[in-house]
Chain A
Amino acid sequence: MHEWALAEAVIVKASEVAEQNGLASVSRVELRIGELQAIDRDSFEFGLGLLRSEYPRLTGAVFALASEPAELRCRRCGHAWYLAESVSGLSEEDREAIHLLPEAVHLYVTCPACASPDFEVLAGRGVSLVSVS
């Protein structure tokens, strides 16, 4: 489970942000969870819950997770679409590769309009920290 590693990144970063802003204790950490990486929420939240105990500023924090749909836009023809429209064509192995390294999406997904693999991920790639308060 590399969700643990991602959870640790969030905890370390949130603690850094709290320190930089002079927050003695954090009550709420808001996170956006991009659909593309398809992390296992239970494992991720389990990691957050355990790892925060190592950081005094975060021991009382609530982690609010919001899902973010993966939005893609073709660089060749300009067509924009959501990953959800493409996932039915993905095998379990393809999904696992994208889970491990979201950039692998360029190997398995193409633009529905022109079949180009040259698209950008506009939103919803992975885990991002929105706010620490």
Chain B
Amino acid sequence: MDPRPAVVARRLARVGRILAVTGGKGGIGKSSVSVGLALGLAGEGARVGLLDLDLTGPSDHVILGVERPTLTEDAGLVPMLAAGLRFLSVAAIVGERAAPLRGEDISNAVLELLAVTNWGRLDALVVDMPPGFGDALLDVVRLLPRAEYVVVATPSPLVLETVGKALELLRRLDLPVVGLVENMRRDDEPSVMGRLPVGGLPLLGSVGYDALYETALGDLGRLLATRFMREMAGVAHSVAAGPRGAPGMRVPPGR
């Protein structure tokens, strides 16, 4: 018998909301939205944790300008403090090496991190999910039944197809969805809201394409001054002030 699942809820007992940022597709800005959401919530005065669960391509530390994420051991793993956030990335363990992990290994790693990490008291923990609907998502569903989902979409038709599937899956699993974040939208593009099976889900915010954002990566001062982060502060306010995600969102089956 594996004893680890028995303590996951206890490790998160003093964490208020658990916000899992997902979308299915890679390259849509889940990491940027996760970091922006975490910093935005912290800007509202909340105690916030950020967990980068993208085991094969962790990048939140790059956005935050943390050259080498660290952690300490004290009755468990203790996340580092970065930009006012409690921050844990698998990059603290694997460094810059590629982690060639299969599904079973990913499940084991996710479970291990959730079972031994002491987050302390937090108002919210933002979880940056890896792309896809595979093991990491299913493990979060299994191990974090309190998680609410924030779905990221960009206006590209290549993305909408997959995000539509993500929404359908979240509906089928009866998981609570807080709403959508529209990312990288250019001014002349139509909103994703009319092009996705969103049912009654709210748009948490529309974040425009920001050419300066890339140049500010890793520089917290400049990052916080970007249009992207200012607009993400609005998203964070919507998440903090709005209703919690509820199961049974009104996404029509099929499209």
Q: Are A107 and B97 in contact, with the CB atoms below 8 A?
A: yes
Assuming the A-B contacts A104-B93, A118-B100, are A16 and B77 also in contact, with contact meaning beta carbons closer than 8 angstroms in the complex? no
Q: Are A97 and B94 in contact, with the CB atoms below 8 A?
A: yes
State whether the Cβ of A12 lies closer than 8 Å to any Cβ in chain B.
yes
The residues of B that contact A120 with a CB separation of less than 8 Å are 102, 104
Q: Are A2 and B3 in contact, with the CB atoms below 8 A?
A: no
Q: Are A2 and B77 in contact, with the CB atoms below 8 A?
A: yes
In this complex, the interface size class of chain B, counting residues with CB under 8 Å from chain A, is 20 to 34
State the Cβ distance, A83 to closest chain B Cβ, in Å: 15
Query: Which single member of A1, A4, A97, A127 contacts B3 (CB below 8 Å)?
Result: A127
State whether the Cβ of A102 lies closer than 8 Å to any Cβ in chain B.
yes
Q: Are B108 and A102 in contact, with the CB atoms below 8 A?
A: yes
Q: Are B74 and A107 in contact, with the CB atoms below 8 A?
A: no
The residues of B that contact A117 with a CB separation of less than 8 Å are 100
The residues of A that contact B3 with a CB separation of less than 8 Å are 6, 9-10, 12-14, 127-129
Query: Which single member of A6, A12, A100, A104 contacts B99 (CB below 8 Å)?
Result: A104
Q: Are A2 and B116 in contact, with the CB atoms below 8 A?
A: yes
The complex places the Cα of A6 from the Cα of B93 at a distance, in Å, of 18
C-beta contact mask, A63-85 vs B, less than 8 Å → 1, else 0? 00000000000010000000000
State whether the Cβ of B50 lies closer than 8 Å to any Cβ in chain A.
no
Total interface residues in chain A, CB < 8 Å: 31
The complex places the Cα of A38 from the Cα of B177 at a distance, in Å, of 40
State the Cβ distance, B76 to closest chain A Cβ, in Å: 4
State whether the Cβ of B105 lies closer than 8 Å to any Cβ in chain A.
yes
Q: Are B115 and A125 in contact, with the CB atoms below 8 A?
A: no
State whether the Cβ of B241 lies closer than 8 Å to any Cβ in chain A.
no
Q: Are A17 and B116 in contact, with the CB atoms below 8 A?
A: no
Q: Are A102 and B112 in contact, with the CB atoms below 8 A?
A: yes
Query: Which single member of A1, A10, A104, A107 contacts B75 (CB below 8 Å)?
Result: A1
The residues of B that contact A10 with a CB separation of less than 8 Å are 3
State whether the Cβ of B14 lies closer than 8 Å to any Cβ in chain A.
no
Q: State which residues 70-110 of B face A: CB under 8 Å.
A: 71, 73-77, 90, 93-95, 97-102, 104-106, 108-109
State the Cβ distance, A45 to closest chain B Cβ, in Å: 15
State whether the Cβ of B67 lies closer than 8 Å to any Cβ in chain A.
no
The residues of B that contact A103 with a CB separation of less than 8 Å are 99, 101, 105-106, 108-109, 112
Q: Are B116 and A107 in contact, with the CB atoms below 8 A?
A: no
12 contacts between A and B (CB under 8 A): A2-B77, A5-B116, A9-B6, A12-B3, A16-B6, A101-B112, A102-B112, A103-B99, A103-B108, A103-B109, A107-B97, A107-B100
Apart from A5-B115, A10-B3, A12-B6, what are 15 other A-B pairs with CB-CB below 8 Å? A1-B75, A2-B76, A5-B76, A8-B7, A9-B6, A12-B7, A100-B93, A101-B90, A103-B105, A103-B108, A107-B99, A118-B102, A126-B112, A128-B1, A128-B2
Closest 5 pairs between A and B when the two form their complex, measured CB to CB: A5-B76, A13-B3, A5-B116, A13-B6, A9-B3
